[in-house]
């Protein structure tokens, strides 16, 4: 028999971009514990502050049944454990399951008979039952699907998106037995107003998640490759995409840098598993190579345009506007803007990075990049618009042009301004 609703006590393990909004949603209905190993994160949340800006202070302070802790003893009072830790890749672009394995080991110390463990972290098909569950069994001494049960419900959080929130995005659910599947689906139905889709197995749900971002990655890779081709032909890519977009079923993707915790990472989880079972995924890896190379390609185009304008590249002062992996959020995870910083440094350019969304200490810690906090008028040989923050658009073209020397290059990666207002664009 699964846990009666009145006895449900939920623990959300990992309070980042995914875990915190989920904790707030469940905390409105169920006794919920937000658990994180980062003590500073727990302290800030207890004061109503969310550094990710996904949940505002009023919402944090108004949740009736949500508490926070980094004490393992608090977890022992729970009976539903939802894991929302990150699943990154290592320097060799292989899955790094360390956070997931650590969370599973933690659960193994506290899980009890009849409890349910649900994973939301993105993984390859099979990881939940092949990697995570055995850890819980080994540490707890309990038997899977006899003493405890599992589920998988992939996260669909879009950082910085104020329209598509956790409750308004349809949720895929699954469970390790028919009863567990029904329990997991029913649990999420209580907080997901958009509804749920109940997958037939955990492996199906895992596969569905990992191909969501793989599909998007490949679509962007196609547009990036087209941008390279059209650039060589002297054709403006944005004009082509606008013309093609007049057909009802043309997908509105745009070229650019592909970073973040999902699109630039998840395909490697699928390709890793594919290669493990003896299949070499050519199309997926080709898309990854194109997207991973866009930073270097953009810098090569910037350098060419500077040379055409007789701007000395060596020692040039270059301003990159934007460091986050996407617009209007402080998320730095896997941002590919750093590729441009490193590539420009190879040309001996002096690079400054400005991003009003990012705390300077985070940029320094993550990438060794010291942000500038004030822009200098008439100081730059080249200005690169790398992230489409609303704040940059609001500055206006005249203010941004005023940052450059005479002459200077204004390169617009994100189509923030029209073709005639900038010198070059992707």
Active-site residue set: 262
Q: Which residue do the tokens 């803007």 mark? A: 337
Alpha-carbon Rg for the chain in angstroms: 23
CB 344 within 8 A of CB 367: no
Distance of CA 31 to the CA centre of its chain: 28
CB 53 within 8 A of CB 330: yes
CA distance 221 to 257: 10
3-state secondary structure the chain: CCCCHHHCEEEEECCCCCHHHHHHHHHCCCEEEEECCCHHHHHHHHCCCCCCCCCCHHHHHHCCCEEEECCHHHHCCCCEEEECCCCCECCCCCECCHHHHHHHHHHHHHCCCCCEEEECCCCCCCHHHHHHHHHHHHHHCCCECCCEEEEECCCCCCCCCCCCCHHHCCEEECECCHHHHHHHHHHHHCCCCCCEEECCCHHHHHHHHHHHHHHHHHHHHHHHHHHHHHHHHCCCHHHHHHHHCCCCCCCCCCCCCCCCCCCCCHHHHHHHHHHHCCCCCHHHHHHHHHHHCHHHHHHHHHHHHHHHCCCCCCCCEEEEECCCCCCCCCCCCCCCHHHHHHHHHHCCCEEEEECCCCCHHHHHHHHCCCCCCCCCCCCEEEEEECCCCHHHHHHCHHHHHCCEEEEEEEEECCCCCCHHHCCEEC
Strands 116-119 vs 171-173: parallel, antiparallel or unpaired: unpaired
Q: Which two tokens stand for residue 101?
A: 């394995």
CB 384 within 8 A of CB 413: yes
CA distance 238 to 226: 11
């Amino acid at each position: 028999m699964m846990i009666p609703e009145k006895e449900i006590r939920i623990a959300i393990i990992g309070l980042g971009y995914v875990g915190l909004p989920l904790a707030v949603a469940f905390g409105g209905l169920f006794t919920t514990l937000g658990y994180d190993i980062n003590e500073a994160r727990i302290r800030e949340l207890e004061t109503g502050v969310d550094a990710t800006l996904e949940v505002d202070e009023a919402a944090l302070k108004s949740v009736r049944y949500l508490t926070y802790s980094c004490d393992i003893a608090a977890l022992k009072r729970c009976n539903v454990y939802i894991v929302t830790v990150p699943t990154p890749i290592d320097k060799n672009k292989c899955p790094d399951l360390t956070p997931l394995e650590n969370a599973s080991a933690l659960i193994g110390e506290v899980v009890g008979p009849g409890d349910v463990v649900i994973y939301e972290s993105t993984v390859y098909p099979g990881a939940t039952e092949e990697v995570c569950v055995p850890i819980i069994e080994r540490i707890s001494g309990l038997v899977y699907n006899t003493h405890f049960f599992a589920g998988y419900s992939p996260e669909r959080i879009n950082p910085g998106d104020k329209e598509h929130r956790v409750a308004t995005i349809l949720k895929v659910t699954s469970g390790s037995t028919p009863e567990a599947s029904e329990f997991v689906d029913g649990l999420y139905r209580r907080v997901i107003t958009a509804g749920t889709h109940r997958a037939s197995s955990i492996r199906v749900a895992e596969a569905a998640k990992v191909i969501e971002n793989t599909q998007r990655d490949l679509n962007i890779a196609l547009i990036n490759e087209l941008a390279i081709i059209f650039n060589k032909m002297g054709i403006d890519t944005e004009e082509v995409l606008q013309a093609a977009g007049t057909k009802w079923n043309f997908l509105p993707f745009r070229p650019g840098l592909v970073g973040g915790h999902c699109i630039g990472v998840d395909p490697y989880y699928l390709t890793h598993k594919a290669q493990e079972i003896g299949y070499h995924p050519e199309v997926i890896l080709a898309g990854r190579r194109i997207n991973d190379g866009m930073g270097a390609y953009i810098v090569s185009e910037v350098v060419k345009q500077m040379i055409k304008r007789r701007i000395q590249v060596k020692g040039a002062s270059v301003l990159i506007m934007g460091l986050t992996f996407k617009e209007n959020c402080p998320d730095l995870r896997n941002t590919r803007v750093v590729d441009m910083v490193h590539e420009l440094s190879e040309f001996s350019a002096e690079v400054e990075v400005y991003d009003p969304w990012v705390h300077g200490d985070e940029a320094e810690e993550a990438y060794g990049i010291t942000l500038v906090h004030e822009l200098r008028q008439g100081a730059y040989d080249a200005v690169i618009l790398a992230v489409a923050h609303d704040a940059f658009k609001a500055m206006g073209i005249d203010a941004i042009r005023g940052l450059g020397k005479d002459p200077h290059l204004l390169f617009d990666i994100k189509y923030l301004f029209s073709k005639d207002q900038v010198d070059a664009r992707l």
